[in-house]
A and B are shown apart, each in its own frame.
Chain A
Amino acid sequence: MSIEQLSDGIFEVVTDDRKILATHNLYPGHSVYGERLMDVDGVEYRQWDPHRSKLGAMVLKGFDIPIEYDSHVLYLGAASGTTVSHVSDILTDGLVYAVEFSPRTMRDLIKLCDQRPNIIPILADANKPRSYAHIVETVDVIFQDVAQPNQAEIAALNSKYFLEDNGHLMLSIKSRSIDTVASPKKIFKDEVKKLESDFGVEFEVLQRKELDPFHEDHLGLLARMFVEDEE
């Protein structure tokens, strides 16, 4: 087995017949959701299943992941922390604010936070960034994976509040949450347009790709918040 680094903290473990996406385990000896642990030259890696993680799928789809070792990340829609655990692995010198609305899944997330010092759990509604504006600082990256009909609005609103100038927004848009019957292609087009112009924040879309075969009817989006010069 050998290791290839794809970007900060994200690796591919190369075995004889395949490549496995993985992150360097911050809490060695423990698996979070039953994923495989792999030892390569005395360093432990955790397998990252792209079928269970939109971010994982985005890595394999060739997105330039803007998360660095020391980034501060705002993660909207943290759920039980499957993906958050990998983000936590990447951020050896950074911090992730994990916002989740459901108390049920927050229970699992808190168990994860107890093991990992760089996750800050926030039980709040991502529709109302003001309700956590006294907790979250300005961040470098926002990652959003919420299955809500107003996904673009939530992303824009949170970017306005918390994203630093020229910071990056990573977004996973689920077409089924917006309209169950319309064609996903059309929904994606509409949502991107909305994001770019409807909410008084300007974005420059850097990359957009559908996340199949890992996730059906999902679009991955990487954008940079655009700040116009005042002069």
Chain B
Amino acid sequence: MKAVTWFGTLVISEDGNAEKCCLVEKDPEMLAEHMLLAVGNEELPAHGLDLRELAIGCGFVELEEDYDVLLREVCIRAAKRQISMTDTDDKRIIQAVEAMDDIDKAANELSERLTEWYGIYFPELELTAEPMARFVARFGSRENVPEDHDMFVRASSSMGAELSLVDEDLLRNFAASLCGIYDARKRLERYIMNNMGAVAPNLTNIAGAPLGARLISLAGGLEKLAAFPSSTVQVIGASNALFKHLRSRAPSPKHGVIFNHPLIKGSPWWQRGKMARALASKISLAVRMDAYGGKLDPSIKEKLERKVESIRKAHPEPPKKQSTKVTQPGPGRAGGRPVKKRGGQKKGGMNKGSKNTVDRSGGRPA
């Protein structure tokens, strides 16, 4: 039997000894390279071997300790190489999306602080968030507002307190940092806009760059997103609602983050569930093309548009509200009140075998 091991290729006889061995040069760098290349090789051992014995048997190392020391060194080198190769385009997009979320949180908090703080000195200034930060960074004290500025009248008749030089300096500095954060956000946004087209052209074409980036980020990578069924894509970002649905009798969520797509947001409520399903299915197709090396295929978008048209045509009016049902006590259900039941066995173990956060059974037709 021929077997590839980390230290060389061996031919092993029936009784488990090495008959022939073709050893790799005893250099950690070479061995690490060989170790990585061997993954996926047809001749990897089909069952575990006593590699240590074999290595000593064919004279690769003399002592057990040498084996340990060398193997450790080689494994660390190999793992370090693998780690340095994991920086892929979709990983960079994910970092950018998450950085943007962090920035939003931080900017919100800081701008609230600025509103409170600067309000002491110029309460009539009715700016918030970014315009406010820019204003404070530029002028500082309201006495510095020039005559031709919109705020001049308010500034000159303000009930605000006097602002000392030290405090003014502090506030301007604070506001300037906040402006820097807003600038960083814009740069990130531009980065996502410019790069999504290259990372996932079809996804960007269907969902748009910001939403596409968010889907990749929530899934944890382009390939992971491609592996999701489209019913999962439909409810990504609605995991709380989904689990509530699975555990109790709460209604299933119709859409997760894809709600932000104009197709769903811009449609009347009775069409949204149908739109969400159509959009999710096309997103799935698009992502799969992107993940497995496809080029931009405009036909996906055309098909989506046709589907959207047919939904709009088929359901132009809101459905009539059904008259309140007379409750008929069914099995296991008393008086029509939803019975909470942990476990949801009635659903017949829908969740079997699915990954932890999202569930393939989520997208029940709305």
Q: Residue B339 at the A interface, CB < 8 A?
A: no
Interface residue from B52, B78, B342 paired with A137 (Cβ < 8 Å): B52
A134 & B71 in contact (Cβ 8 Å cutoff) = no
Whole-angstrom CA separation of A40 from B83 in the bound complex: 39
Q: Residue A28 at the B interface, CB < 8 A?
A: no
Q: Which of B11-69 contact A (CB under 8 A)?
A: 35, 38-40, 44-52, 68-69
For B247, list chain A residues within 8 Å (CB). 181
B47 & A121 in contact (Cβ 8 Å cutoff) = no
Question: What would be 17 A-B contacts, judged by CB atoms less than 8 Å apart?
Answer: A106-B79, A106-B83, A107-B83, A117-B68, A119-B72, A120-B75, A121-B75, A123-B83, A135-B51, A137-B48, A138-B48, A149-B355, A162-B48, A179-B351, A180-B356, A181-B247, A181-B344
Q: Residue A213 at the B interface, CB < 8 A?
A: no
A137 & B50 in contact (Cβ 8 Å cutoff) = yes
CB distance from B324 to the nearest CB of A (A): 30
Given contacts A179-B351, A182-B351, contact A134 B6 (CB under 8 A): yes
CB distance from A168 to the nearest CB of B (A): 15
Interface of A is mostly: mixed
Whole-angstrom CA separation of A183 from B69 in the bound complex: 46
Whole-angstrom CA separation of A114 from B77 in the bound complex: 11
B351 & A103 in contact (Cβ 8 Å cutoff) = no
User: What are the interface flags for A118-135 relative to B under an 8 Å C-beta threshold, 1 for contact and 0 otherwise?
Assistant: 111111100000111111
Q: Residue A136 at the B interface, CB < 8 A?
A: yes
Q: Residue A59 at the B interface, CB < 8 A?
A: no
Whole-angstrom CA separation of A7 from B202 in the bound complex: 58
Contacts from A to B (Cβ < 8 Å): 95, 103, 106-107, 110, 113-114, 117-124, 130-138, 147, 149-150, 160-163, 176-177, 179-183
Whole-angstrom CA separation of A179 from B68 in the bound complex: 40
User: What are the interface flags for B332-347 relative to A under an 8 Å C-beta threshold, 1 for contact and 0 otherwise?
Assistant: 0000000000111101
Interface residue from A103, A114, A131 paired with B39 (Cβ < 8 Å): A131
A183 & B76 in contact (Cβ 8 Å cutoff) = no
For B329, list chain A residues within 8 Å (CB). none
Whole-angstrom CA separation of A161 from B44 in the bound complex: 12
B82 & A134 in contact (Cβ 8 Å cutoff) = no
A117 & B50 in contact (Cβ 8 Å cutoff) = no
Whole-angstrom CA separation of A132 from B38 in the bound complex: 9
A-B CB proximity, top 7 nearest: A162-B48, A103-B86, A137-B51, A161-B48, A133-B45, A134-B5, A123-B79
For B351, list chain A residues within 8 Å (CB). 179-182
Whole-angstrom CA separation of A160 from B46 in the bound complex: 10
CB distance from A202 to the nearest CB of B (A): 16
For A138, list chain B residues within 8 Å (CB). 48-50
Whole-angstrom CA separation of A146 from B23 in the bound complex: 34
Q: What residue in chain B is nearest A97 (Cβ atoms)?
A: B75
CB distance from A79 to the nearest CB of B (A): 14
Q: Which of B229-269 contact A (CB under 8 A)?
A: 243, 246-247
A110 & B76 in contact (Cβ 8 Å cutoff) = yes
For B52, list chain A residues within 8 Å (CB). 137
Given contacts A122-B79, A130-B44, contact A181 B50 (CB under 8 A): no
Given contacts A147-B356, A161-B48, contact A135 B68 (CB under 8 A): no
Whole-angstrom CA separation of A49 from B237 in the bound complex: 33
Q: Residue B352 at the A interface, CB < 8 A?
A: yes
CB distance from A26 to the nearest CB of B (A): 14
For A147, list chain B residues within 8 Å (CB). 356
CB distance from A166 to the nearest CB of B (A): 15
User: What are the interface flags for B122-155 relative to A under an 8 Å C-beta threshold, 1 for contact and 0 otherwise?
Assistant: 0000000000000000000000000000000000
CB distance from A24 to the nearest CB of B (A): 20
Interface residue from B35, B68, B72, B343 paired with A182 (Cβ < 8 Å): B343
List 8 additional A-B contacts (Cβ < 8 Å) besides A103-B82, A179-B352. A106-B83, A110-B80, A113-B72, A114-B76, A119-B72, A131-B44, A181-B243, A181-B344
B75 & A122 in contact (Cβ 8 Å cutoff) = yes
For B180, list chain A residues within 8 Å (CB). none
